[in-house]
A and B are shown apart, each in its own frame.
Chain A
Amino acid sequence: MNGTDQTVVQVVMKNADGSSILTQEALRAGAGDVSAARAEEIRAKLKALGLEVLEGNLNTLSVAGTSDQLEAIFGLTQAAAAIGIEAHAAHISKDLEPFVADVFIPQPPEFFR
Chain B
Amino acid sequence: MSESADEIIASVSPRSVGPNSLFDESVQITSENVSQFSSDPSDVRDAKNALTRAGFTVYEEASNDQTIQIGGSAKQFKEFFGAKIKKQKAEIGPGVQTTFMATDSDPAESMLGAPEEFSSLIEGAVIARPPTYFAVSAIPPIADVHASAYPYFYAPDGISVMLRAARVHRLGVTGKGIVVGMPDTGMAPHPFFRERGYRVLSTLLGPGASDPSIDTVGHGTGEAANVFSCAPDARLRPVKMGNDAVGAINVALNSSPKPHILTNSWGWDERDVGPVIPNWLKPLEAAISNAVASGVIVCFSAGNGHFGFPGSHPDVISVGGVHVNLPDLSDFEASSYASSFNSTWYSGRACPDVCGLTGKRVNIAGSGKAPSIMLPVQEGAQLDTIAPPTGPGTDGYGLFSGTSAACPQIAGIVALMKEKKATLTPVQAKQKLKQSARDVTKGTTGNGVTAVAGPDLATGSGLADAKWAYLNTMSEVATAFFAAPKEQQLAMVNSGEMPEVSQEFVQDLIDTLRSR
Tell me the A residues contacting B by CB distance below 8 Å. 6-8, 10, 12, 21-22, 27-33, 54-60, 62, 64, 86, 88, 102, 104-113
Given the contacts A22-B279, A106-B246, A110-B306, A64 and B208 also touching, CB distance less than 8 Å: yes
The 8 Å CB contact of B283, one of A8, A21, A29, A112, is A21
Cβ-based interface call for B219 (8 A): yes
Q: How far is the CA of A21 from the CA of B281 in the complex (A)?
A: 11
Inter-subunit contact B289/A27 (CB<8 Å):
yes
B side interface size, CB within 8 A:
48
Given contacts A28-B289, A29-B293, A106-B280, contact A111 B266 (CB under 8 A): yes
Q: Which of B184, B251, B279 is most buried by chain A, counting CB atoms within 10 A of its CB?
A: B279
Which of A10, A27, A32, A88 has the most chain B CB atoms inside 10 A of its CB? A10
* Contact status of A110 and B267, CB under 8 A, knowing A60-B283, A104-B283: yes
Contact with A along B379-410 (1 / 0, CB 8 A): 00001000000000000000011111000000
User: Is A60 within 8 A of B287, CB to CB?
Assistant: yes
Check B404 against A106 for contact (C-beta < 8 Å).
no
| A107 CA to B279 CA, complexed, in Å | 12
Q: Say whether, besides A8-B207, A111-B185, A111-B265, A55 and B247 are in contact (CB < 8 Å).
A: yes
Query: Majority SS of interface residues in chain B?
Result: mixed
Q: What B residues does A113 contact at CB under 8 A?
A: 219, 265, 304, 383, 400-402, 404
Please determine whether B280 and A110 come into contact, CB atoms closer than 8 angstroms: no
- Chain A neighbourhood of B45, CB < 8 A: none
8 Å CB contacts to A: which residues of B237-293? 241-247, 250-251, 253-254, 265-269, 278-280, 282-283, 285-287, 289-290, 292-293
Give chain B residues whose Cβ lies under 8 Å from the Cβ of A31: 286, 289
Contact status B208-A110, CB under 8 Å: no
Q: Interface 1/0s, chain B 277-317, versus A by CB < 8 A? A: 01110110111011011100000010110101000000100
Cα A27 to Cα B284 in complex, Å, equals 11
- Say yes or no: B184 contacts A21, CB within 8 Å: no
B217 interfacial by beta-carbon distance below 8 Å: yes
Give A7 Cβ to nearest chain B Cβ, in Å: 8
Q: Which residues of A contact B315 (CB under 8 A)?
A: 29
Q: Are B267 and A86 in contact (CB under 8 A)?
A: no
Q: Are A111 and B243 in contact (CB under 8 A)?
A: no
Chain A nearest CB, measured from B360 CB (Å): 15
Contact B250–A111 (Cβ < 8 Å): no
* Complex: chain A residue closest to B313, CB-CB: A27
If the complex has contacts A12-B283, A21-B283, are A60 and B217 also in contact, measured as CB distance less than 8 A? no
Alpha-carbon distance A108/B208, docked complex (angstroms):
11
Q: Which one of A27, A62, A104 lies within 8 Å of B207 (CB-CB)?
A: A62
